[in-house]
Amino acid sequence: MKHSEYQQLLKTDKCKAQRTVFDEYLNYVYTIAFNRLRSCGSREDVDECVSDIFKDIFDSYENKPIADNDIKGFISTVALRKSAAYYHRLCRNKNSISLDDEHTDTFPSDENISESAEKNEMRRTLMKLIESLGEPDSTIIIQKYYYGRNSFEISGFVSLTPAMIRVRSSRALKKLRRLLSDNDISI
């Protein structure tokens, strides 16, 4: 969806316009927020963050003229920034230092570019390996070990019973471990 299309829809039916954007980009926004807050926030925090992101998006499109027609780029920017703000709010005392601190200038950055590049490469390989498990095993693995859902919750994503999901999950995990070992990946 483009910004102009959204604006057109907004003029005729505001509710429908918001619902369309929400349905189209919810998975994307939620993935961004969850990816950032997975370790430091609860599921409720992620829900709150996602709803705040959409509120900001709707508010921006309604009240301010947006020059860029790329709605996805705008949404991802808002989502990343809002998630980062939530992350800093939730993990304030863990990883942040004050700018007023006199040692701020000499404080080394945690970012290691080469390590970061290696990690990104490893992530892509991991994603490919998980994908190679095929459906529904890949979905089960992601939902269980990334989103932290139980078998009953996962049954809402794949058409299997919780008992069957547990069996398949166990087999898929063994297979994934073997694949990771073959690719010299340790996680």
Partner 1 sequence: MKKKLDLKILENSDIKTIEALSYKYRALDDAEAEKIFRRITNDTEEYYEEAQEHNVEIYHRPIWRKALSAAVSLTIVAGITTLGSLFYSQLKKSDSLNNTASYSASDSLENTFTPVAITDDYNGDILGVRNWHIEKAKNNKYGNTLSVKFVNDDTGSEFAYSECSEDKPYAYLADLDNDGTNELICNKVFGIFGGTTNDHAVIYRLRGETIEELCLFDRS
Whole-angstrom distance, CA of residue 77 vs CA of residue 113: 22
CB of 135 to partner 1, least distance (A): 10
Shortest Å distance, C-beta 96 to partner 1: 15
Spatial contact of 18 and 58, defined as CB atoms under 8 Å apart? yes
Q: Is 89 in the site for partner 1 (CB under 8 A)?
A: no
> Shortest distance, CB of residue 39 to partner 1, whole angstroms?
6
Least distance from partner 1 to the Cβ atom of residue 70, Å: 14
Contacts with partner 1 by CB under 8 A: the residue count is: 49
* Token couple for 4: 């102009």
| Integer angstrom CA distances of residue 185 from 110, 116, 124, 125, 163 | 23, 15, 12, 9, 30
**What type of residue is 115?**
E
From residue 63 to residue 82, the character string flagging contacts with partner 1 as x (rule: CB under 8 A) and all else as - is: -------------x---x--
> Is 20 an interacting residue with respect to partner 1 (CB under 8 A)?
no
Q: Which of 177, 178, 181, 183 binds partner 1 (CB under 8 A)?
A: 177
DSSP string, 82-136: HHHHHHHHHTHHHH---TT-TTTTTSPPS--HHHHHHHHHHHHHHHHHHHHT-TT
Residues whose CB is less than 8 angstroms from the CB of residue 132 and which lie 6 or more positions away in sequence, other chains included: 138, 179
Draw the binding track, 112-151, toward partner 1 (x: CB under 8 A; -: no contact). Answer: -------xx-xxx-xx---x------xx-xxx-xxx----
Residues in contact with partner 1 by the rule CB under 8 A = 15, 18-19, 22-23, 26-28, 30-32, 34-36, 38-39, 44, 47-48, 50-51, 54-55, 58, 76, 80, 119-120, 122-124, 126-127, 131, 138-139, 141-143, 145-147, 153, 156-157, 173, 176-177, 187
